[in-house]
């Protein structure tokens, strides 16, 4: 009986070992130790499209093992900025993405299609799988050239300036939303853009770019003659009633860092920097963050400017903003930045109104 039991144990152990080894072999067959295969079907490499037209995006990801996640990104390579993101967790062995996207640019731009994916064995892909060219739309181009200054000199971020009350300070950020950019001809109006976010900071960190100013362009426009330009600094109440959760993260309105939940408002204008209040130790020890928001902070700018769009050419209109005039109004009243270096509370709405009005009056003053 003991011998029979022993034989049964040996037989069972042998069968169990064979099963385990068989499973391991199956796993090894599933895991080729190779990364998933990515095939870009469209756009073809180096294909060209025009801004605003339909772009077919079609690709396939395949693997012998389960694919646990993937991300497809489209990046503006000239600006290193994401313009499209698609991501998903999955357990399939084949991913098929077949969609249509619409992208807009104002100048010819190389776009990169990046694919990141991983299978259940940890095999990964992280590569720029293809590139294509996105050209501006056909037609005329209208450009607002924003020239930031301080006391009639070209502004440079992180340069020392004298505040109207005598203190030394430096700016590290100036960005703002605009909305309802419109060309006007008598009673006729042409809306060029509903809204956008102007990231001017990077331009004014570089001396060469600062000398040229920050350009905001709208392309693909029909011929026309106009006698005025109108836009808002800030967002209209309708747009401002939305929040970043309503938009993708790469959308102009999708950044939570540019939104005040307690105010139910986007931050229309961001002015940040440091100030030296202790003259015995000039180290710019006090930071300031003047953030302007709420519907009351939106200001309408209308400029009488004869503008002609014709011959598929670019028309440039200069917008001059002297930031010294933001800190001191036309009557000589100086904004008390020592008393209110940050505007993040509803109790500071009077200061927000003061700065917003000064900003409006600083344009082409």
The full set of domains in the chain, from first to last, is 37-135 (2.60.40.10), 140-362 (no CATH)
205-222 per-position pLDDT tens digit: 999 999 999 999 998 899
CB 199 within 8 A of CB 143: no
User: Where does 183-257 have alpha helices with state H?
Assistant: 207-212, 237-240
Kindly tell me if the per-residue pLDDT of 22 is higher than 60.
no
Residue in the structure block whose two tokens are 């000589």: 332
- Model confidence at 30, pLDDT cuts 50, 70, 90, reads low
SS3 of 124, please? strand
Mean pLDDT over residues 158-174, rounded? Answer: 95
User: Where does the chain have alpha helices with state H?
Assistant: 2-30, 207-212, 237-240, 324-327, 349-362
- Model confidence at 107, pLDDT cuts 50, 70, 90, reads confident
Strand residues in 122-213 grouped as ranges (E): 124-135, 140-150, 153-154, 161-162, 168-185, 188-199
If you average pLDDT over every residue of the chain, what do you get? 89
SS3 of 351, please? helix
Cα dist from 202 to 33, 98, 155, whole Å: 43, 36, 12
230-275 per-position pLDDT tens digit: 999 999 999 999 999 999 887 899 999 999 999 999 999 999 999 9
- Model confidence at 120, pLDDT cuts 50, 70, 90, reads very high
Cα dist from 235 to 181, 202, 285, 320, whole Å: 11, 22, 33, 20
Structure tokens at 56: 């077919």
Kindly tell me if the per-residue pLDDT of 168 is higher than 50.
yes
């Amino acid at each position: 009986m003991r011998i029979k039991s022993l034989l049964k144990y040996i037989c069972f152990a042998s069968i169990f070992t064979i099963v385990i080894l068989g499973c391991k072999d199956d796993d090894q067959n599933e895991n080729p130790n190779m990364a998933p295969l990515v095939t870009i079907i469209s756009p073809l490499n180096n294909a060209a499209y025009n801004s605003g037209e339909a772009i077919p995006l079609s690709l396939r990801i395949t693997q012998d093992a389960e694919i646990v996640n993937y991300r497809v990104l489209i990046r503006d390579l000239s600006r290193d900025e994401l313009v499209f993101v698609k991501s998903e967790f999955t357990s399939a062995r084949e991913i098929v993405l077949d969609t249509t996207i619409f992208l807009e640019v104002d100048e010819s731009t190389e776009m990169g299609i990046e694919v990141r994916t991983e299978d259940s064995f940890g095999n990964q892909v992280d590569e720029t799988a293809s590139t294509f060219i996105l050209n501006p739309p056909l037609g005329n181009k209208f450009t607002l050239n924003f020239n930031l200054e301080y006391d009639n000199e070209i502004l440079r971020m992180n340069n020392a300036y004298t505040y109207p009350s005598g203190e030394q300070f430096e700016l590290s950020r100036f960005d703002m939303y605009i909305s309802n950019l419109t060309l006007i001809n008598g009673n006729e109006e042409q809306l060029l853009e509903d809204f956008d976010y102007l990231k001017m900071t990077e331009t004014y960190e570089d001396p060469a770019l600062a000398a040229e100013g920050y350009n905001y362009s709208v392309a693909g426009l029909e011929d026309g003659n106009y006698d005025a330009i109108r836009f808002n600094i800030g967002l209209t109440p309708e747009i401002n009633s939305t929040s970043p959760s309503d938009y993708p993260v790469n959308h102009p309105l999708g950044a939570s860092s540019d939104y005040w939940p307690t105010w139910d408002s986007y931050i229309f204008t961001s002015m940040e920097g440091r100030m030296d209040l202790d003259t015995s130790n000039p180290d710019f020890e006090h930071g300031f963050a003047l953030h302007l928001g709420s519907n009351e902070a939106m200001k309408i700018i209308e400029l009488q400017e004869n503008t002609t769009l014709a011959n598929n050419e670019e028309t440039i209109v200069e917008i001059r903003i002297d930031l010294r005039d933001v800190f001191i109004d036309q009557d000589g009243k100086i904004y008390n930045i020592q008393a209110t270096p940050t505007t993040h509370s509803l109790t500071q709405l009077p200061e927000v109104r003061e700065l917003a009005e000064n900003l409006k009056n600083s344009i082409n003053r």
